[in-house]
Structure 1
Amino acid sequence: MNKNVKRLLALVLALVMSLSLFACGQKQQEDKTDDGTQTETTRVFTDSCGREVTVPAEIQKVAVSGPLAQMVVFAIAPDKMVGVANAWDESAKSYFDAKYLELPLLGQLYGGKGELNLETLLAAAPDVVIDVGEPKDSMAEDLDALQEQTGIPFVHIDAYLASMDDTYAMLGDLLAMPNEAQGLADYCRYAYDKVKAIADSVEKVNLLYVTGEEGLNVIARGSYHAEVIDMLCNNLAVVDEPSSKGTGNEVDMEQILNWNPAAVIFAPGSIYSTVADNENWQTIPAIRDGRYYEVPMGPYNWMGFPPSVQRILGMQWMAKVLYPDAADYDMYETTQTYFQLFYHCDLTAEQYAALTAHSLAAD
């Protein structure tokens, strides 16, 4: 069992002694309709771990277990969310309705900056807690234990870049929102297939994706965070143990010089703005030839960190930057559509220009 979950369970036991909030736990029950007939108020949902979880037939209040789930669920059901796993980035104020910015902070179940706040979670009384992303080894055990102790259903739904349409199909089933899910699923499928076709048609560029304040971390080939990078380019960052963290693997300048990338993509907050004046970096073809770019940031890093559904936008941006002739679509229109579907926001041309100022993605 994950050590974070063990600590959470200990906290649950303490809270049980002082709170009487567990009436929100879901139990099989029946209600009468206006005409006196009996109707079931719960049903069984099978999650991606194969767990059969009893959930309300009509889910109105949703909690999320982490930032990946926060982004995925926000697209389909923002008004059902009772809280957020991580505080929104400051830039979210420019795009989101104020009511979403005021949701309580629940914390997150796995990794990240802090643990799930059980007291806040229980007070919010969600109908279900949704975990989205790559399954952990102890996932089924962890969720079963938390569900038993809190009385709240916990479900896990897998999310991979190539199958985000399946992720939304499952969410649509869970939340009884098939129409909303279908639109998001169709977009994810179309965008992925479009970019995959571009990747299969071009000679892939030798590239590094660089992170960190000093630019000495890389997103390594084969890591969960490198799915887009590995698809669209020859990812030079081959290491013995690819990091599972969004900060990537730490390397040294000598290694970067040896890799000798023809293009470099810098994560937000790295050294994009000063790298051209750095004597070491000036010797690298990517910097010397001006083939280096900064990932747009707003309201999330478009390429990941966390590696959630925004990578569907990021992969379209990256294809446009690296292979503009093959990616013959209007990037502003592409971004505008994404923001409408996933952020419920009408993106202006001025906002788009600011987002892509360092990426050369503007048409």
Structure 2
Amino acid sequence: MKKSLSLVLALILSLSLVLAACSPAAEAPSNTPTPSPTPTVSTTPEPTPAADAVSFTDSAGRTVDVPADISRIAPSGPLAQMVLFALAPEKFVCISTAWSEETEQYIDTAYYNLPVLGQIYGSGSGELNMEALAAADPQLIIDVGEPKKTVVEDMDAITDQTSIPAVHIDAATATMGETYRTLGKLLGLEARAEELASYCDEVYAKTLALMDKVGDNKVSLLYCTGDKGLSVIAQGSYHAEVLDLMGDNLAVVDDPSSKGTGNEVDLEQILLWNPDVVLFAPGSIYTTVKNDPAWQELSAIQTHRYYQVPFGPYNWLGFPPSVNRYMGMLWLGTLLYPDDVDYDLYTEAARYYKLFYHTDLTYAQYSALIDDSIGQ
């Protein structure tokens, strides 16, 4: 009996040892970090918008996601169109305003068949064609110029309506160099932008130096617009920047207009101002004023010191008030202070037209441009 019990106990002990050997061993504690899981590649592609877009903070303080590589742009209006055409005409998929017939001799006709979209601001405000904009398929809408009070809301609204990012870049005569540098970074055209920026800085500095020399002896003037010549570009308005800088602009009114057509006045007021020089906008009454007895009472008309602002492909003094005004500064310097300038106007005009319109200005073209700007 004892032998049988011993045999049973021996069998039980053997079986326990066998089972213990077959059971998984307990893990010993370790201070070694657990390895990271091996990366796996998903067969389903994940969207990566960050790789295709970058954040850009515009002049209105808005942070906007824009394409990292921008090849298709839309200008928001004629001022932006002019600024951007100098920098990146090859990126245009549309234009804001149609080119005039006079423009064809200066602008490559390859840009004539682009769709015309209208503009956000200005005399054609509210005419932006959303359907045409969508069809043109720009990657970015660029607004350039004086910031409106509602610029943030306006840019956001355009973006919301079109799903196309829109940005605003401030621009003024004194700061156009920085405008181009900002645009150069945005569009990946830093070298080209710096060439244009340096030109703007140079011409503006040259103009300031000229006016320092002139001192308090500024020529008094008026800039008259309209088919009767009875609107003026008022002192202190955005459109009068160059006039106020280079002359004694006598057009002081209570509420300067923000429009390029200026403020309406009557001839009696113009006679009271009686400036030394009168500038007439293209298409105004320059060609007929000498035969008008009422206008003959002005000393500027009597002394033949009245001029028509050169035009082609744009007005040299504005309308729109864009980079064309640098050519206007050079012209006014020659016109008002010929003894104080040290440059040749044709040489400067040829340089400007090459930089901003990508064309070689001939002397015949130049002569036609200034034909009515040297007086009667």
TM-score band, normalised by shorter chain: 0.7 to 0.9
Q: Within the alignment, does 1:332 sit opposite 2:349 as a pair?
A: no
1:141 alignment partner in structure 2:
153
Instruction: Encode CA deviations 1:180-208: one digit per residue, 9 max, x unaligned.
Output: 10000000000011011112211101111
1:221 alignment partner AA: Q
2:38 alignment partner in structure 1:
none
Displacement of 1:328 in angstroms is 2.0
Alpha-carbon distance in 1 for matches of 2:127, 2:115 = 14
> Which residue, out of 266, 289, 295, partners 2:303?
289
Q: TM-score, normalised by structure 1?
A: 0.88
1:53 alignment partner in structure 2:
64
Native 8 Å contact 2:122 2:259 kept in 1: no
Whose Rg is larger?
2
1:127 alignment partner in structure 2:
139
2:168 alignment partner AA: H
Displacement of 1:238 in angstroms is 0.3
Native 8 Å contact 1:89 1:300 kept in 2: no
Q: How does 1:80-159 map to 2 (within 5 A)?
A: 80-113=91-124, 115-159=127-171
**Aligned CA distance change for structure 1 residues 82 and 323 (closer, same or farther; 3 Å):** same
Displacement of 1:148 in angstroms is 2.4
Alpha-carbon distance in 2 for matches of 1:285, 1:145 = 51
Alpha-carbon distance in 2 for matches of 1:204, 1:309 = 23
1:237 alignment partner in structure 2:
251
1:303 alignment partner AA: L
Displacement of 1:124 in angstroms is 1.0
Q: Within the alignment, does 1:274 sit opposite 2:279 as a pair?
A: no
Displacement of 1:106 in angstroms is 0.9
Q: CA RMSD in A?
A: 1.2
Alpha-carbon distance in 1 for matches of 2:48, 2:85 = 28
Alpha-carbon distance in 1 for matches of 2:293, 2:48 = 68
2:176 alignment partner in structure 1:
164
1:200 alignment partner in structure 2:
212
Displacement of 1:28 in angstroms is 5.8
In structure 2, stretches of 5+ residues that fail to align are 1-46
Alpha-carbon distance in 2 for matches of 1:288, 1:28 = 71
2:49 alignment partner in structure 1:
29
Alpha-carbon distance in 2 for matches of 1:86, 1:148 = 23
Native 8 Å contact 2:73 2:93 kept in 1: yes
Q: Which runs of structure 1 show a deviation greater than 6 angstroms over 4 or more consecutive aligned residues?
A: none
Displacement of 1:149 in angstroms is 2.9
Q: Within the alignment, does 1:246 sit opposite 2:260 as a pair?
A: yes
Alpha-carbon distance in 1 for matches of 2:346, 2:281 = 21
**Alignment partner of 1:220: what SS?**
coil
Instruction: Encode CA deviations 1:26-78: one digit per residue, 9 max, x unaligned.
Output: x9626xxxxxxxxx221011100011110111100000110000000000000
2:343 alignment partner AA: Y
1:170 alignment partner AA: T
1:128 alignment partner AA: L
**Alignment partner of 2:122: what SS?**
coil
Deviates more, 1:193-202 or 1:214-223: 193-202
1:225 alignment partner in structure 2:
239
Alpha-carbon distance in 2 for matches of 1:243, 1:166 = 26
Instruction: Encode CA deviations 1:322-350: one digit per residue, 9 max, x unaligned.
Output: 11111221000100000000000000000
Native 8 Å contact 2:159 2:165 kept in 1: yes
Alpha-carbon distance in 2 for matches of 1:28, 1:148 = 22
Native 8 Å contact 2:300 2:306 kept in 1: yes
Alpha-carbon distance in 2 for matches of 1:120, 1:265 = 38
**Alignment partner of 1:75: what SS?**
helix
Paired positions, count: 326
Q: Within the alignment, does 1:188 sit opposite 2:208 as a pair?
A: no
Instruction: Encode CA deviations 1:87-142: one digit per residue, 9 max, x unaligned.
Output: 11211111111111111101101132361111011111111000001111111112
Native 8 Å contact 1:72 1:309 kept in 2: yes
**Alignment partner of 2:372: what SS?**
coil
Instruction: Encode CA deviations 1:139-198: one digit per residue, 9 max, x unaligned.
Output: 111211221232111000001010000110110011010001000000000001101111
**Alignment partner of 2:123: what SS?**
coil
Instruction: Encode CA deviations 1:203-259: one digit per residue, 9 max, x unaligned.
Output: 101111111110101000000000000000100000000011000000001000000
Native 8 Å contact 2:309 2:316 kept in 1: yes
**Alignment partner of 1:99: what SS?**
helix
1:82 alignment partner AA: V
Native 8 Å contact 1:28 1:42 kept in 2: no
In structure 1, stretches of 5+ residues that fail to align are 1-26, 31-39
Q: Within the alignment, does 1:264 sit opposite 2:278 as a pair?
A: yes
Deviates more, 1:146-155 or 1:262-271: 146-155
